[in-house]
Amino acid sequence: MADEKIVIGSETKYPLNGILTIPNEMNGSVPAVVLVHGSGPSNMDGKVGNNFLFKEFANGLSEKGIAVLRYDKRTFVYGKEMKNDTGLSVKEETIEDAILAANFLRNDSRIDSTKIFIIGHSFGGMLAPRIDAEGGNFAGIIIMAGSPRKLEEILMDQNYDVINSLNKLLKIIAKKQVAALSSKFDNIYNLSDDEAQSTKVLGKNLRAYYFKEMGEHPSSHYLKDLDKPVLIMQGEKDVQSTVERDFEVYKNLLDGKPNATFKLYPNLNHLFMPSIYGEILKVQKEYKVAQNIDRQVINDICEWILSV
């Protein structure tokens, strides 16, 4: 395979370095995927702890004849400039660049423009249907460890999961803190955009508008009307998105739709790597252990893409 250094959005305010991985053997144009990051700043390799999720995808998929485009997330490169933007939303953080990446691939004669797919991991999986609808225009959508829930619901559920794993004294303290956060989320959809932009809800900079804007464009809104192929993938031991709260909800949402395929993997975590601890309090410790994506996951993605 060949790794080519590229730039996404070279004519914009936020150019991003990336890599296009092209298969060695090509008989005519090849299918391609755009990789979309999870939450938080992340580099083009999708580095999480000592694991490199996107680099592994690029190597694994290109070996099977599929080109892969990955790039630094905008907040990874321009986080300091963006943190004071009160109107920051997922559109600026993620969506615009994913659409630029798809268009970049369409302008490459080696790529089959009718076979460009999106793989969204975690937060990127939540946004993938919206990215497609707002200009990505992909041949199919792959959602890995995503969620049909709203972001604030996920955060609150994760907080409650943490509380339930604490001892009695810490549980009392944590419950008060979580209740205070919950009260901030309760009112965000009653705020005007201006009010939401001036209301801080998390940390020093994250404002209600970020959650409100995303919550007003739920993935379920796009998925229920979707008729193009969609692949939903989930690790059974994932403690960040879960089988019960997310994977099963996707299945119910897309029940009876012939375009939807579901894959559940025993003993795999949020990174589709073997689960070590299986506890939400130990996820960072788990990600410090260098592992590899389960090979079956790569094979299933390749098989699905090549069958579309």
Could you give the residue numbers annotated as active site? 122, 238, 270
Instruction: Please give the angle made by the CA atoms of 224, 248 and 98, to the nearest 5 degrees.
Output: 55
Distance CA 33, CA 304 (A): 12
What CA–CA distance (Å, rounded) separates 6 from 262?
33
Q: Rounded to 5 degrees, what angle do the CA atoms 15, 202, 179 make?
A: 155
User: How far is residue 170's CA from residue 178's CA, in Å, rounded to a whole number?
Assistant: 12
Two tokens at 104?
Answer: 């970049």
Which amino acid is residue 143, in one-letter code? I
Three-class DSSP labels, the chain: CEEEEEEECCCCCCCEEEEEEECCCCCCCEEEEEEECCCCCCCCCCEECCEEHHHHHHHHHHHCCCEEEEECCHHHHHHHHHCCCCCCCHHHHHHHHHHHHHHHHHCCCCEEEEEEEEEEECHHHHHHHHHHHHHHCCCEEEEECCCCCCHHHHHHHHHHHHHHCCCHHHHHHHHHHHHHHHHHHHCHHHCCHHHHHCCEEECCCEEHHHHHHHHCCCHHHHHCCCCCCEEEEEECCCCCCCHHHHHHHHHHHCCCCCCEEEEEECCECCCCCECCCCCHHHHHHHHCCCCCCCHHHHHHHHHHHHHC
